[in-house]
């Protein structure tokens, strides 16, 4: 390992969290013309209506009190709602959604939205406000921070709200979430500090035209086929004006999300069975490391270093666009920048996105989730905040937000409300087929820095190949254990 480099990176985790949000803004900057493509924002009913709406129909059914609090206690409550991911024009999309809730909810709750994404470093600014004792009622943000907020006693466990007979989500509604997201989005296997609102996924970009010319009629379905196609592309002798620097099979990007996607596809886990620590020296992680190293040593893969290269994504995109690589790893949010030029046949290449694949054909993509959380205030305000969070994470509202942001939903029923948008955005729609393979990264507060160690470790697996993989992964486990322990103090 390289302790000096890692320690340098360890002291700036907050900046790195913010960079994630900033990068999404960067790659969405050219989507300023996005507008909702349906009338949902004017027609969908609030998804949070519970027994109170049934009473309005004169059914005679008693109205249960949610969480032991009378419904009348919610009348006139005003809630502060912060968010950081409005990517169209400041406030337009999210404010329209909030306005509808304010008009149509039957409890007399008023939500006041604040776009925290307008500052240079939104998450750092939010953390600074927290130290002054100020918190909102609801916040939707990158999920990487919520474990620390829960550990600090700032946000509530949503489990009691989810399971409440009057105001919670039914078992069917809970099953509507993509299972890999809902099942893994917990702390210690039981605490739910947030409710998934929207997501981005880590995928493989695949040059389908080139693969067909190489004789492959379908994308790789197993890790063996992935290796075969990568090596065949690397050995392809034809070069063109667009290919003067040579080409490779796959661009090996040592971002933690790529490594975790591979580990998931090999049937592995990032945590040990007792959920009290990481386990990167598992057989599955070692298999991934072996493939990673073999691809590089056999010249079937090329790494573009992640650190300190701040232009890594741009370089990888340019390489892929000019047929410099058959496959590229990256966020699905990058697809707006995949504009493949003419190949040596004079035709533009066609590309698709794929999940990561394991030896038995298992598929996986890592999901970066934007989550809604409820901050500790009064019992009445927490219930009101939950009702708004339930509304905004409903399938209808998730579908509306997709049309403003081009992110992906976390609930399957959202797709019923996105038929027109899917037809009008075929590249984006490819990702819908991959959502069932999505898994969330650990919510533990240590993950913010552990992911840096994962990236460093796998970069060294390539840069220092061949090397003792067992020793490398054990060292990664030891580093991760120290970071886990440090984050608990």
Q: Two tokens at 316?
A: 């990888």
What per-residue confidence (pLDDT) applies to 148?
Answer: 87
Beta carbons within 8 Å of 294's beta carbon, 6+ residues apart: 227, 300
Strand, helix or coil for residue 148 = helix
Mean pLDDT for 380-403 is: 96
Smallest Cα–Cα separation from 143: which of 407, 461, 422? Answer: 407
CA distance 319 to 252: 12
What per-residue confidence (pLDDT) applies to 308?
Answer: 54
Is the predicted pLDDT of residue 59 greater than 60, yes or no? no
pLDDT in tens, 458-477: 999 998 989 999 999 999 99
CA distance 202 to 331: 4
Beta-strand relationship, 110-115 and 138-142:
unpaired
Mean of the per-residue pLDDT values of the chain: 84
Strand, helix or coil for residue 279 = coil
Beta carbons within 8 Å of 4's beta carbon, 6+ residues apart: none
Strand, helix or coil for residue 49 = coil
What per-residue confidence (pLDDT) applies to 50?
Answer: 34
Which of the four pLDDT bands, split at 50, 70 and 90, describes residue 13? Answer: very low
Write out 89-135 in H/E/C secondary structure: CCCHHHHHHHHHHHHHCCCCCEEEEEEHHHCCCHHHHHHHHHHCCCC
What per-residue confidence (pLDDT) applies to 307?
Answer: 56
- On whether the CB atoms of residues 207 and 323 are closer than 8 A, the answer is yes
Is the predicted pLDDT of residue 2 greater than 80, yes or no? no
Which of the four pLDDT bands, split at 50, 70 and 90, describes residue 34? Answer: very low
Extract the runs of DSSP E, i.e. beta strands, from 218-308.
Answer: 248-251, 301-302
Instruction: Name the percent of the chain lying above pLDDT 70.
Output: 81
Mean pLDDT for 53-79 is: 74
Which of the four pLDDT bands, split at 50, 70 and 90, describes residue 62? Answer: low
Mean pLDDT for 141-161 is: 90
- On whether the CB atoms of residues 409 and 327 are closer than 8 A, the answer is no
Question: Is the pLDDT higher at 469 or at 183?
Answer: 469
**At which residue do the structure tokens 């693969």 appear?**
211
Which of the four pLDDT bands, split at 50, 70 and 90, describes residue 360? Answer: very high
* Angle, vertex CA 354, rays to CA 230 and CA 256, nearest 5: 80
Question: Is the pLDDT higher at 16 or at 209?
Answer: 209
- What sign results for the dihedral spanned by CA atoms 396, 398, 399, 401? positive
CA distance 381 to 272: 37
DSSP string, 172-225: HHHHTB-HHHHHHSSBTTTB---EEEEEEEEEEEEEHHHHHHTT-SS---SHHH
Question: Is the pLDDT higher at 7 or at 412?
Answer: 412
Where do the domains of the chain lie, and which CATH numbers do they carry? Answer: 32-200+367-440 (3.40.190.10), 201-365+444-488 (3.40.190.10)
CA distance 238 to 77: 68
């Amino acid at each position: 390992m390289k302790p000096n480099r890692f320690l340098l990176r360890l002291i700036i985790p907050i900046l790195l969290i913010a960079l994630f949000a900033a990068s999404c803004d960067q790659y969405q900057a050219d989507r300023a013309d996005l507008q909702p493509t349906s009338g949902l924002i004017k027609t969908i009913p609030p998804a949070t209506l519970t027994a109170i709406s049934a009473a309005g129909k004169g059914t005679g059914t008693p109205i249960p009190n949610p969480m032991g609090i009378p419904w009348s206690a919610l009348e006139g409550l005003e809630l502060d709602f912060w968010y950081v991911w409005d990517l169209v024009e400041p406030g337009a999309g999210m404010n329209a959604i909030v306005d509808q809730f304010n008009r149509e909810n039957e409890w007399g709750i008023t939500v006041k939205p604040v776009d925290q994404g307008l500052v240079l470093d939104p998450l750092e600014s939010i953390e600074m406000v927290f130290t002054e004792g100020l918190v909102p009622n609801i916040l939707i943000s990158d999920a990487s921070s919520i474990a620390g907020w829960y550990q600090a006693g700032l946000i509530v466990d949503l489990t009691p709200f989810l399971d409440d007979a009057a105001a919670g989500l039914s078992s069917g509604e809970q099953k509507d979430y993509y299972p890999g997201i809902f099942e893994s989005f917990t702390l210690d296997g039981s605490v739910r500090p947030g409710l998934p609102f929207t997501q981005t996924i880590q995928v493989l970009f695949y040059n389908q035209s080139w693969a067909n010319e190489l004789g492959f009629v379908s994308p790789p379905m197993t890790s063996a086929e992935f290796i075969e196609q990568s090596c065949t592309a690397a050995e392809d002798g034809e070069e063109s004006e667009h290919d003067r620097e040579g080409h490779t099979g796959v661009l090996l990007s040592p971002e933690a999300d790529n490594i975790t996607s591979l580990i998931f596809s090999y049937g592995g886990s990032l945590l040990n069975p007792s959920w009290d620590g990481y386990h990167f020296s598992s057989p599955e992680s070692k298999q991934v490391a072996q493939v990673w190293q073999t691809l590089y040593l056999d010249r079937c893969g090329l790494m573009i270093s992640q650190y300190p290269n701040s232009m890594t994504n741009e370089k990888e995109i340019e390489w892929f666009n000019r047929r410099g690589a058959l496959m590229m790893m990256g966020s699905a949010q990058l697809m707006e920048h995949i504009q493949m030029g003419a190949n040596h046949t004079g035709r533009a290449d066609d590309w698709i996105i794929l999940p990561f694949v394991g030896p038995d054909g298992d598929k996986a993509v890592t999901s970066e989730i934007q989550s809604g959380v409820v901050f500790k205030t009064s019992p009445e305000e927490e219930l009101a905040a939950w009702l708004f969070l339930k509304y905004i994470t409903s399938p209808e509202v998730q579908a509306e937000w997709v049309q403003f942001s081009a992110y992906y939903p976390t609930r399957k029923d959202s797709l019923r409300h996105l038929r027109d948008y899917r037809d009008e955005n075929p590249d984006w729609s490819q990702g819908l087929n991959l959502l069932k393979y999505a898994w969330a990264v650990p919510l533990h507060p240590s993950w913010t820095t552990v992911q840096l160690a994962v990236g460093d470790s796998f970069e060294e697996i390539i840069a220092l190949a061949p090397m003792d993989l067992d020793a490398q992964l054990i060292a990664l486990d030891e580093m991760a254990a120290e970071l886990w322990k440090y984050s608990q103090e």
